[in-house]
Structure 1
Amino acid sequence: MPTFRCNSKPNKMSKPAVRKYGKSVKKSRAEQLFAELPRSPVKRNVTTSVYKVEEPEVETKTRESAVDDIAERLLSITLEEKHIEKEHISPSQDTLPPPAAKEAPATPRPATPSGPEPQNEADDDSPSDLRILTWDDVCPFGDRIEKIAEASYAEIYRITNDRGVSIIKVIRLASPIRPQTATQRRAGLVDEEPHSEDDLRGELSISEWLADIPGFVVYKERYIVRGKAPKVLLETHQAFHRRAKRKDPDRLQFYPSPSRYLDDTEFLVVELGDAGTALEDFDLQETAQLWDIFLHTAIALARAEDLVRFEHRDLHEGNLCIRRSKTSVAKTDDSPCQFGYSGLEITILDYGISRAEDPEPAAGEEAVPVAYDLEKDLSLFTSTHAAQCRVYREMRSFLLRGDRCHLPPEAHDTPRALDFQGQPISWETHHPYTNVLWLAYIYQYLVEHFRGDRKELSAFKKRTKELWAHLNPEAPRHILSFPSAVDVVRYAAEAGWITEEQVMDEASRMGDESIILDTRAEETAHLRRSPRRAAA
């Protein structure tokens, strides 16, 4: 069996308290919000059948040699040219996956068909226990509501009023809805299927665990919205689809028109902080923006890997938002630091198919992973409609083979196929390399959609050439790969692109008060009513 070089594990940090929706919590210290900046491991003369760690060099290293050294210590994930059969994928016999942050069980437990692992905490709110509102409560007269996106099984709206700005994620629950009209059927409308409480519990749990980590969305409140839709909701729904059709004439409408809502139609609505503009709609004009967006994303993922063993698994340009938190500053010195000049911050959205573990399990119990079972619908891996579909296949190919080999769509037609260790594939196990695959996708997107000075872009690509070589899942087999986002941050720090002080600095956090529920006047929140309803 071949040997591999690997980095030692990063230092662990104290874990933040789990945050509850809509309740004020004591803010964590910077040391709690951020994992310590990982250090270059001290090399020891230890050899096993799997890993090889080399002797340290005697001479003092320069910054350049330190960067070369960490590149040499990146985990090897090699391409193996194996024969791939459609009916059965033989596990690779001479490659192993990168080690997880913690030792994984010897025999991975197959993911349960029901999807995310349910949480049994007594104080966790389930949708059936939540406050019930109407659409007039959510957006009363005088407030503004605008549909801005469609995510995995949810519609996204922005609400603005005199108390601020919030994003609401609207998820249809199993409930009655008016059938499509003949015109809607001829138009080829496809209704997104309603979801059960169990389908949503995993994502909501992960959202709580990530809530205090900068770079992840601020959660404010959640509630049930029931009843018919007001005219303003129908108007913004129609305006959104007119804009979408102008951009993509072949685009289908996947969510029912609000005109079809009945008195008993129910939605789970999650209120979030306004994350800014989706990367797919952001105008990239300066290379300082490329540096900050990429490094902010890598740092956020590294923190989440360390704290809750997190994998996003769906981090495309629609799930990464950008907002300006301060004025941009020109770089005037000759230091290698490239981080923090654009004034931008990022927010990572949508944990519908993510994976994480409770950072504070019950005493005497091991943390139970929460992970959506992607084996329930293999169309995610066989689809070719968008660029990110390749990353879904790269993730599953890695779980199956333990290397960087990209299996084509037709190789993903067998649910729970055996992995390279002869076990049924399981999405509950922790493979932080999936975060590296998405960082590679974001890097490529930033470069390909840059609209600024081409000479500046060439300089950026030249400076990050080695970084990209170790991110690129299609790199030649002799090129080593980053095993996790933590290692990407370590590389950037040793290259001097970001300082330890910058990593440890607290990012700004937007307010976590609901602008839909009024909690100022009474200890128990009461609903704001529109002038029309109050006068009734």
Structure 2
Amino acid sequence: MGRPRTYGARKTHASIAASALFGSISRNSHHTKFPASPERSALADITSAVINLKLDGDTENEDKRVGHNHDDDDDDENSETLEDRESEEGSEGLTLQLDENDELETEDETSIFNRKHQHLLPLITAYGIDTGRTLTTHSWADLLPSDCTVIKIAEASYAEVYRITIPSGETSIIKVMRIQSPCDPASSASDTAIRVENIVSEVRIMNTLTELPGFVRFKDAHIILGRSVQAFIDAYEHREEVCKEGRESQFPHPKLYTDASEFLAIELGDAGCVLEDFPVTSIKQVWDILLGTILALAKGEMANEFEHRDLHENNICVSVSPTPSSDHTDTDTNPNLKLGRAGVKTTLIDYGLSRAKLQNGTVVFLDLEEDPMVFQGSEGHPQFNAYRRMRTNLITGERTAKTKSWHLSKTLSPSTSWGEYTPYSNVIWIGYMLGYLKKALKKSESSRATPGGNGRGKGSGGGGRSGKGSVLGLFNEETKGLSGRLDFRTKVENGAFGTATDVLFYCVEKGWVSEVQAEEYGADVSGVF
């Protein structure tokens, strides 16, 4: 039996009417042409030049090849106009126009869209509007260079995550989501397949936040058609062989997919391993993880009114630098400085439940009211309590977590939309993360104190004790004020935090984060002092 879900089912506020979905399309500009991605060197990223398949199965143009260039360091390439890209050899564009009902339709007979695949229109349209490129389609074989290695590293409710490595050592992460498709009847009965409309908000938020420090790098996205290939089958089977009991895959074996199966593959930068799989060994690591998370959330609020809304240990990635940054570890000049002393970098991932304001002012979010099961998890469990606290706060303004029975009430009709900006949700998840890290630190101390471990008595937390003589005791003492202001029982007039930005200001005031470090994240903390 598969492990318990860590995400709520992703229902969306979006409708099929693309004019309502994507208000950024001007009604005075009825024709919008999205060129295919320009060519790039074969190893610039993991995705090589691929055949731009047509969804209707027509093979007439299958010999036309397009490439994808996402070289972040090439400013000239990134500054190309749409007309420049259209003129490149081998590029295929998708032309869309508004019909008499202000809905989007296609007029290019060589486009990847046709009536048979109308369910893909919201995703294709959003991708074109936000990136200026066509969302291309491939087979599984097209996705991989011939000499790469594939390792399955994680699962979410609707996604399998793979690390792709080429011989040079470069890596990319591929997040694969099976799409519920009328062309694939079995997908509608699968509890791991997702509706296209429920993917749109996540892809748009990824593309918007990709340049912000602390957020995952969005490289590209592709629609994948058909049966899987051996490399992914082997990766799936290997993970099943080595995974811990209770963490078996909830996804079908790849051999069960058919020629009609459809997937969205999102190519991301490699941000390390998820926090759940990261062995916390020191208090310095705990500080880096906590403060890096706070910085990213605060910057997201400042730049895009961002709320993550699902920030548990599987939605934070952790990587370690060989040596900490020497610029920020001088405790002689700042003895209270905490960030940067362990060389641990955090990256926020998975924006399936998130809310953000795009650069054009469009607010993108997921309407959690369409599937309230996310609020029905075990009472007393910190993660499920966090979901309930978010909804309680949205509906009532209170900071406690109403019971499951309250959230089950059919007479409850929220007057506030999940599209509203309620940044207190970020405070809830910072509190969750602080509790998680305390448990991880306690577990680390306990393991060092066991026979064969490296326990060194009271000062090292022998026996896993949390008294003042232990590392955990020291951390508890140092974060006592922070914990108090994160506590839902603390009143606003007594200093309770309302946003992640409030939490960051507190950390800067305490000296845990320097002004220089905050500025490197693009976070304005000039009002702190």
TM-score, normalised to structure 1, is 0.65
Letter of the 1:473 counterpart: F
Q: Secondary structure at the match of 1:379?
A: helix
CA apart distance, 1:241: 3.0
Q: Do the aligned residues in 1 keep the contact of 2:172 with 2:267 (CA within 8 Å)?
A: yes
Tell me which of 504, 509, 516 is aligned to 1:489. Answer: 504
Which residue number corresponds to residue 336 of structure 2? 336
Residue 129 of structure 1: how far off its partner (Å): 4.6
1:147-202 CA-partner distances (Å, limit 9, x unpaired) = 1111131111111112510111101123455969xxxxxxxxx9335333322111
**CA 243–415 in structure 1, closer or farther in 2 if over 3 Å, else same:** farther
More helix by share: 2
Matches within 5 A, 1:348-497: 348-359=348-359, 361=360, 367-384=361-378, 387-414=382-409, 417-419=412-414, 424-450=415-441, 451-452=444-445, 453-454=460-461, 455-474=470-489, 479-497=494-512
CA distance in 2 between partners of 1:304 and 1:279 (Å): 20
Distance of 1:308 and 1:225 partners within structure 2: 30
Are the equivalent residues in 1 in contact too, given 2:130–2:207 (CA < 8 A)? Answer: no
Read off the aligned partner of 1:489 and give its amino acid letter.
Answer: L
Is the 8 Å Cα contact of residues 292 and 345 (structure 1) preserved in structure 2? yes
Of residues 132, 149, 164, the one that matches 1:159 is: 164
Describe the superposition over 1:309-347 as per-residue Cα deviations: whole angstroms up to 9, x where unpaired. 000000000000100134147775372212211111101
Whole-Å separation in 2 of the counterparts to 1:312 and 1:483: 15
CA distance in 2, matches of 1:319, 1:247: 21
SS in 2 for 1:136: helix
> Residues 27 and 490 of structure 1: is their aligned pair in 2 closer, same or farther, counting only changes over 3 Å?
farther
Q: 1:225 to 1:126 in 2, by over 3 A?
A: farther
Task: Tell me which amino acid in the other structure corresponds to 2:140.
Answer: W
> Which residue identity is paired with 1:447?
K
CA offset digits 1:238-294 (Å, max 9, x no partner): 2323434x332xx56432210111122111100001110111011111111111111
Partner of 1:36: none
Runs of at least 5 residues in structure 1 that lack an aligned partner in the other structure: 1-19, 29-113, 181-189, 362-366, 508-536
User: Could you report, residue by residue, the CA deviation over 1:338-366 in whole angstroms, capped at 9, with x for unpaired residues?
Assistant: 2211111101000001001112x2xxxxx
Separation (CA, whole Å) in 1 of partners of 2:266 and 2:176? 7
Q: 1:369 to 1:340 in 2, by over 3 A?
A: same
Q: Does the residue aligned with 1:171 lie in a helix, a strand or coil?
A: strand
Deviation at 1:399, TM superposition (A): 1.1
Q: Matched residue of 1:124: which SS?
A: helix
What SS is found at the alignment partner of 1:449?
A: helix
Asked if structure 1 preserves the Cα contact closer than 8 Å seen for 2:280 and 2:286, the reply is yes
2:500 counterpart letter in structure 1 = A
Q: d(CA) in 2 for partners of 1:122 and 1:286?
A: 42
Aligned to 2:285: 289
Go from structure 1 to structure 2 and tell me whether the alpha carbon gap of 1:120 and 1:477 turns closer, same or farther (over 3 Å shift): same
Q: Is there any run of 5+ residues in structure 2 with no aligned partner, and where?
A: 1-36, 38-67, 76-118, 446-459, 462-469, 523-529
Distance 2:331 2:166 in 1: 41
| Partners of 1:173 and 1:267 within 8 A in 2 | yes
In the alignment, residue 172 of structure 1 is paired with which amino acid? R
1:345 is aligned to 345
Distance (whole Å) between structure 2 residues aligned to residue 140 and residue 410 of structure 1: 51
- Answer whether contact 1:211 1:218 (CA < 8 A) is retained: yes
Query: 2:319 is matched with which residue: 300, 304, 323?
Result: 323
Contact 1:142 1:161 in 2 (8 A): yes
User: Is the contact made by 2:507 and 2:513 (CA closer than 8 Å) also made in structure 1?
Assistant: yes
SS in 2 for 1:313: coil
Q: The residue matched to 2:267 in structure 1 has which SS?
A: strand
Partner of 2:180: 174
1:118 CA displacement: 8.3
For residues 128 and 487 of structure 1, do their structure 2 counterparts lie closer, same or farther at Cα, with a shift above 3 Å needed?
Answer: closer
State the 1:446 CA deviation.
0.5
Partners of 1:478 and 1:503 in 2: how far apart?
26
CA distance in 1, matches of 2:315, 2:265: 18
Q: Name 1:300's counterpart in structure 2.
A: 296
Identity score, percent: 34
- 1:505, distance to aligned residue in structure 2 (A): 2.5
The CA distance in 2 between the partners of 1:376 and 1:305, in whole Å, is 25
Q: CA RMSD in A?
A: 3.1
Deviation of residue 222 (structure 1)?
1.1
Paired amino acid for 1:243 = V
Task: Note closer, same or farther for the CA distance 1:22–1:210 as it changes in structure 2 (3 Å cut).
Answer: farther
Q: Distance in 2 between matches of 1:495 and 1:27?
A: 39
Q: How does 1:17-32 map to 2 (within 5 A)?
A: 23-24=70-71
- 1:411 deviates by 0.8
Q: 1:142 aligns with which of 143, 147, 154?
A: 147
1:220-242 per-position Cα deviation (integer Å, ceiling 9, x unaligned): 11111222222332222123234
Cα pair 2:128 2:134 within 8 Å, conserved = no
CA shift, 1:418, in A, is 4.1
Bigger RCO (CA 8 Å, 6+ sep): 1
The worse-fitting range, judged by mean Cα deviation, of 468-477 and 224-233 is 468-477
Q: SS state of the match for residue 129, structure 2? A: coil
